[in-house]
Chain A
C-alpha cells in the first residue's frame, strides 16, 4: 500500500456545486496533515491544515479520520478559481526529522 494515496481525477464539477475528495495514508504514526493547492505550472501553496476535530475555512472543510486513516477536503459553492490540483500531505514525526509525504494530487476542473 502506498504511503499516501489520492484519486488523481480529474474531477469535472459544475460551478456552484459541492465536491469532496479523500486521501488515505498507511502509516498510523502520521501526526500532521495538510492540504496544499497547486495551480498549473506553479508551486504548491498551503490551503489548510487538518486538525483532529476538523476545521473549516470559508467554503473549505477539512476532516481527519484516524480510525480509517484518511483525510478529506470538501469544497462548497465551487468557483472557477478553485480549478487546481490538490495535494494531500502527511507529516510523520520521527524525532529530529519529520518525514513529509506528498500525495500525487487530485486534479479539479470547475466547469462554467
Chain B
C-alpha cells in the first residue's frame, strides 16, 4: 500500500518557469490537499478538493492551480514560478470530508527552489 506519493522530491526552477507537482493516493480518499511549509510559518493550505471534479482555494492559492479529474490524482501547477514559491510542498489526503475529515495522510514532500 503506497499511501500518498509525491513527485518529484526535489526540483530547482528558474523564475518564470512552469512545472507540475504530482500527487497520487491509492486509499480511495475523497479529500486531497496541498500545503506549503516555510520556516516560521508552519503548514499553509494552498488548495484542496473534496472529491473528483471539485477544487477550492485555501489560505495561499495565488500562483498555483489544481485540478481533480480522478479520485486518485491531485496535481499542483505552478504557472510562472517566483522565488517566493521556494518551499517544501506536501500533499495530504483523508478518507472523509466535512465532519469526517479525520486523519490526514501526507506524502513525503517536494522541495522546490526557485532561482
Contacts and interface: CB of A to CB of B under 8 A. Distances in A.
Nearest to A31: B99
Contact of B97 (A31, A45, A89, A96): A96
A45 B45 contact: no
Contact of A100 (B50, B99, B101): B101
Given A96-B50, A104-B41, A46 B98 contact: no
A43 B106 contact: yes
For chain A, the bracket of interface size reads 20 to 34
Interface string A22-58: 0000000001101010000111111001000000000
Contacts of B104: 36, 44, 46, 89, 100
A98 B98 contact: yes
Nearest to B43: A102
Contacts of A61: none
B53 to A, nearest CB: 14
For chain B, the bracket of interface size reads 20 to 34
A97 B50 contact: yes
A72 interface: no
Contacts of B106: 43-45
B43 A44 contact: yes
Contacts of A42: 108-109
Contacts of A104: 40-42
A98 B48 CA distance: 11
B90 interface: yes
Nearest to B39: A104
A77 interface: no
Given A42-B108, A43-B109, A102-B42, A97 B90 contact: no
17 contacts: A32-B101, A43-B106, A43-B107, A49-B103, A93-B98, A94-B98, A95-B98, A96-B50, A97-B48, A97-B56, A98-B99, A102-B35, A102-B42, A103-B42, A104-B40, A104-B41, A104-B42
